[in-house]
Structures are given as C-alpha cells and as structure tokens.
Structure 1
Amino acid sequence: MKTSTRRRALAITAVTALSGIALLSGCAGSPSASSSEGETEVAYLSSSSANTWLSASGKAMQEEAKKAGIKITEFDAKFEPGKSVKQIQDVVASKKYKGIIIATSDGPGAIPALQKAMDAGIKVVILNQVVGEKLDTADPQVPGFSASVLAPPKGTGERLGKLALKACDGLEECKVVYMYGLKGTPFDTAVRDGFDSTITGNSKIKVVADTEGGFLGTAEPRKAVQDVLQSNPNFDVFVAAGDQQVRGAQLALGDAGKPAVKTIGVGASEPALKGISEGTWFGDVAGVPADEGRAALNAMVKAIKENKDSGGIDVVDDLPDGGLITKENVAKFTAQWAG
C-alpha cells in the first residue's frame, strides 16, 4: 500500500498563462498536430475546460511544464459522462503521449481505460477527482497510478459541516439549504456524506431543501435558489459544494431581499475571501487549485524522467486552521482562482 505523501500547500495567487507553453484546447476531442522531435508530450484530460478551478490548475501546470520541457495538450470532457473514457482511448491510440493527467467526474468508470493506457506504457496522475471507490483518501487506488493529487471529498464535506455548525451556533432552530454541484457524481456524493455525518446529532439543524447548481458560472445556481425560495422562503444557512454556487445563490438571495442568509462554499476563491472579509459571506472550505496543478505536473515529471511514484498528495492537509475559513482568520489565505 502506498504511503500518502503530505505536501504543504503554500497559498500563492493563481498564475497567469505563460507564453511559450502549449496548453492546447482539445474541445473537439482530438489531439493537436505532432510535436517537434524529442519533445515530451503529456495529455491533460479536464472534466471541463470552462471550469474556473480546473483552468487555474491548468495554468499552474504550464509553469512547471516550461521548466521540465514538457508540452501539454488539453482535452475537454465538458462534464459529459463517459467522454473522458473516449479521450483516454484517443490518447492511447495516438501513441504520442508519455503521460496522462486526468481530472474526471467518471470516477471508477475511467479505470479500465486508464489501465489500458498504463499497459501501453503511459504514466497516469490523478488530479482533483477521485478515481476509485474510497472517497476519504488521497492515496492512489489503482496499482500503477503514479500519483493522486486531491483533497479527499468526504473530508471536504466534513469541513463544510463544521462551518455549518459554526453558522448555526446560537440559533434555536437552524434551517439549511444544501446545493450539490453535480448530484450523483462520486465527488458530490462524498461531499454530502461528509457534511451529513458532521451535522448529524445536532437536533437544531434541519436541511429543509437540497438542489443542484453545477460548476459553471452563476446562472444555474441563481435559478436553482430562486426555485427553492418558492417553497422554502425562510432559511438561515446556504451550504454549497463550490464557490460558484454561492455566487449565484447570493444573487438570488439579494433579489429576494434576504442578504442575512449565511453562505458557505468550497474553494477559497477571490469572491469568497473578499466576501468573508466584508461580512457578506460566512465561511469557506479552503482550496488551492494552482498548488494542485503544480503538484500533479511535478509528479508526472518524476514518473516520466525517474520512473518513480509520488503516492497520495493532499494539498489541503496542512493549510491553516484545518482549511476552515471565517472572518477571524481569512487574512491567512490567498485566493488561487477567480471563482
């Protein structure tokens, strides 16, 4: 069993795209033209290129790729179930890539295709999303994976639950609305399980509604909260699996004249930290997408050039105060993505 590697995540502002690095769009599902002779190519399979978190990870990879002389080609799964599996197959068939860095919402469904990639000699690093059945560990769950770089989603949910307990403190009854990102995915299921396990036993807290807001912008979560308000016009706390949903929820709550609802998200984005500082956003679970990207690329370089594995890397593990952000400690954190 691989030992989990603990890497201290330094809060560093998300990097901007650097010239000279080829992070190419694979939106059509096909790779770019052949690289120059001798160049090492790595495929970055993203759940969604439009997702601002994964974009921040991708930009950070560019910085590390430049140092290592690696060319990255990005493939965009657009959050479409099963699409990353087809992209893995395309990468293997091309016979041009030395490695795959993958952030997939397909979870265990991607394992057979990734196994074939490894059988073909391609190194595999998991990024951000669990690929396996265990949702409480960062450790690689398939023999042969070179590294797994992520915050275990069940732990993220537990942190959300701890912040909800803080938000509900002092209330005789605390009504909570919970928003999934993509309900039914391994990530969201694990986050909710962690959240529920933490608030269970507190009889004052009642989840009066749950809904889904996606991970792309504010329009979907805004509409979802507007719908919730029709049947549950009065609640105290809004909890979401991502900062994007909180931003949309705050727009809906503002429209409804309910700015006093305490909001809690995940990611430590620029809007989250600003809102927490100003008192318009109650709390957040810290996230460091740029650090994730750097750690994933460095693990890939180690795998390709030294044939060494890096094990599990939880970049949130050593953040201040367990990664729980409130107004009292927000100054300790720096945003790595736009939210």
Structure 2
Amino acid sequence: MIRVARYVGAGLAAALLVAGCSKPDTEAAGSAATAAPAGKKLSIGFFGFAKANSFAQATWAGIQEYAAANNAEATFLDSNFDGPTQVNQLQDAVTSKRYDVIIVQANDGTAMVNPVKQAVAAGIPTVIEFTPVGGKYDTADPQIPGTINIIDPPTVNGDGLAKLGTEACASIGAATGCKVAYFQGFANYPLDTARTDAAVKALKAGGASEVIANFVGGYTPDSGRTAMQNLLQAHPDVDVVIGSSQALEGATPLAAGKKITFVGNGGSTQAYDYVNKGTWYGVYSVPEKKSGAKAAELGLAKARGQSAPESTVVCTTLTTFNCLGTKTTLAGQTADYSD
C-alpha cells in the first residue's frame, strides 16, 4: 500500500473483480486540449506523496523510465505528505501551464478535488494514481469527469488486508479466538481512515475474536517499533499484527519467541523477504512501479491525441495475484522497490 506507504500502498471487492480491469473511454475522458505536435518532447509533473517515501519513489521510477523512453521528461513535486502544500503546488502548475501531463498521487483526495478540476478545465491530461480524488474511497471510477484513474481503492486495500489477516489466524492455529491488531498509518488521514474502517469490519466478519485498531503504526520502522511496544504492554496475547510494511519492519523483532505473525501493506523487497522466510504470513503488494509507468503511458497517450481508459483497477490489471501476496503467490515474483 500507502508511506503507504514510507508506503504505504493492499482481496479485492467482488464487484470490482466482476467489473474487470478497466473501463472504456468516455467522451469526457477522451477529450483534451489540442493534441501535442508529433515529435514534441512533453513534460510530466508528478505530484507524489513525498520524495522520502519508498512507495512514491517506486511510482516515480516507473514514471521516469516510461517518460525517458517516450520523448518526455518528468519532475517530482514534493509535498512531503502535506495536503495543503500539494494543493498549492498543483494550483500553481495549472496557472503556469508548466506541464503537458499531470499525475496526482493525492495526500488528501478530498482537498485535491478543486485543483484537479482546474487542471482538467485547462485542458491538461490529468491522471489520478493510487488514491481516489473525490469523496469516495471505495471505487476506482472517475469522480471528476475528464480524469484518467489508475486506482487501488483504500477500502479494497482494507478488505485485502483483512482477508490475509484471517488466513494468518488459521496459519498459526488461531482461526477461532484470534486476536488481531491493526496498526493505522496516520490518524485522521482520509485514505487511512477508509482503509482502517474496511479492514476492521472485514476482520470481524471473518471471525476475529477481537480487533485492536487504536494504535498508530505510521510508515517507518521507528513508529512501528513504538506501536508494537505499546501493543505488547496492553495486549501481550495478540496473535496477528497488520500494518504498513515499513512499520512492521520495526515491530517484527519485538515478537521474537512469541507466536505472532504479521501481514504487511506494501510490497517492498524487505516485505517479500519476510514472507518468503515465513516470518510474516503475507503482504498486500501493489506493483507500484508498473502503476507509475502506466500512469505516464496513459497521460502521454491522451496528450498526443490518443485514447485512454478512464478507469483502471491496479490489482486486477497489473498483477496476477490480485495484490494478495503469500509465500505461494509470491513465488517467482520480484518486488517493485525497497524501503
């Protein structure tokens, strides 16, 4: 997932699975300013979570590679996880018409609505990547007409983490009476709130005897270590811990000698290693570098007068295992990035 992701990052909802990989073009999604002249080098502005975030760096790597191979250049505008800063950055870019394509990885999907609308109105092809922009966090459908959306809906991420968590309970013989702790990423962060609520609801529905969700694990090993220390003091009998992969990298050593397993959110090389060794049961692994490359591909296509799908669900389109990484499903897979 998401820091998601110092990210991150995240089974999929049945309706999305049935709906398929992507929605076809619509008149709104296909319309844009006059197509760029053939041979013109185009510019991409990437409004990512934070330059210091490993998940956003995976997105950035995909964008850069695709841009360099397709007569374009890209710039990372660093908001450092600050919603208002990101809003101001995008508004300034639209006013100056600095970029031919805009890719938005929103810190706050509600706050970014107006600047994204401004970008679309200015005729700038705008790609919403990973986090929905709008008031809904349970869909990959465009909430702003004219945008291209490559999304891992936060509620779907939460459901996937819960599915892995339920399986993790069974893997350690605690399918009944299983006590699960869910580490929130950020407190009062729209993406995290939607994901947490979905995960807690699905864990309870899946049979967890108790779900503890009042600890903030954050997106760094240090914050995860602190959360785990507090968790073990209050709930030494916990069976499964779910959180961002970065947080769990700090939490895991504290479980040595205890019958605790983990489910990470964010498919870094470190997370894959923990799963392959059996230390963690699983990880919700979004192919974020591929997602970044796809965002650049579709944004540039639209800028050059070509068609682009308005909606793509990352986990059903860019992976063969719906982002649900276990020792079995990750066999032969390579992580997109390292923490």
**TM-score band w.r.t. shorter chain:** 0.7 to 0.9
**Structure 1, unaligned stretches of length 5 or more?**
8-36
Corresponding residue for 1:138? 140
**Structure 2, unaligned stretches of length 5 or more?**
1-18, 23-38
SS across alignment from 2:141: coil
Is 2:185 the partner of 1:181? yes
SS across alignment from 1:322: coil
Correspondence 1:23-62 to 2 at 5 A: 39-62=41-64
Corresponding residue for 1:10? none
1:5–1:311 Cα contact (<8 Å) kept: no
Corresponding residue for 1:235? 238
Pair 119,274 (structure 1): closer, same or farther in 2 beyond 3 Å: same
Name the aligned partner's letter for residue 280 of structure 1. Answer: T
Write out per-residue CA displacement over residues 119-154 of structure 1, whole angstroms, 9 at most, x where no aligned residue. 222221011111112222222210111x11121111
Partners of 2:48 and 2:206 in 1: CA distance = 38
Corresponding residue for 2:28? none
TM-score by length of 1: 0.83
Shift, 1:179, TM fit: 0.7
1:320–1:332 Cα contact (<8 Å) kept: no
Partners of 1:203 and 1:282 in 2: CA distance = 17
Q: Identify the match of residue 122 of structure 1 among 114, 121, 124.
A: 124
Corresponding residue for 2:36? none
1:239–1:264 Cα contact (<8 Å) kept: yes
Pair 289,234 (structure 1): closer, same or farther in 2 beyond 3 Å: same
Q: Identify the match of residue 6 of structure 1 among 18, 21, 30.
A: 21
Is 2:329 the partner of 1:326? no
Name the aligned partner's letter for residue 93 of structure 1. Answer: T
Correspondence 1:92-131 to 2 at 5 A: 92-131=94-133
Partners of 2:207 and 2:41 in 1: CA distance = 60
Partners of 1:40 and 1:199 in 2: CA distance = 46
SS across alignment from 2:133: coil
Corresponding residue for 1:168? 169
Instruction: With a CA cutoff of 8 Å and minimum separation of 6, indicate the structure with the bigger relative contact order.
Output: 2
Partners of 2:206 and 2:58 in 1: CA distance = 37
Pair 67,223 (structure 1): closer, same or farther in 2 beyond 3 Å: same
Pair 5,62 (structure 1): closer, same or farther in 2 beyond 3 Å: farther
Shift, 1:275, TM fit: 1.3
Identity %: 30
The root-mean-square deviation of aligned C-alpha atoms, in Å, is 2.1
Name the aligned partner's letter for residue 103 of structure 1. Answer: Q
Shift, 1:44, TM fit: 0.6
Shift, 1:298, TM fit: 0.4
Corresponding residue for 1:11? none
Name the aligned partner's letter for residue 159 of structure 1. Answer: G
Pair 119,307 (structure 1): closer, same or farther in 2 beyond 3 Å: farther
Corresponding residue for 2:159? 158
Shift, 1:38, TM fit: 5.4
Write out per-residue CA displacement over residues 54-96 of structure 1, whole angstroms, 9 at most, x where no aligned residue. 1011011111101221111111111113111000112123232
1:286–1:323 Cα contact (<8 Å) kept: yes
Pair 238,142 (structure 1): closer, same or farther in 2 beyond 3 Å: same
2:203–2:211 Cα contact (<8 Å) kept: no
TM-score by length of 2: 0.83
Corresponding residue for 1:148? 149
SS across alignment from 1:50: coil
Is 2:234 the partner of 1:273? no
SS across alignment from 2:68: helix
SS across alignment from 2:314: coil
Name the aligned partner's letter for residue 61 of structure 2. Answer: K
Shift, 1:203, TM fit: 4.6
Name the aligned partner's letter for residue 334 of structure 1. Answer: T
Corresponding residue for 2:85? 83
Name the aligned partner's letter for residue 270 of structure 2. Answer: P
2:184–2:213 Cα contact (<8 Å) kept: no
2:55–2:337 Cα contact (<8 Å) kept: yes
Partners of 2:337 and 2:237 in 1: CA distance = 32
Partners of 1:128 and 1:244 in 2: CA distance = 18
Moved more, 189-198 or 37-46: 37-46
Number of aligned pairs?
Answer: 301
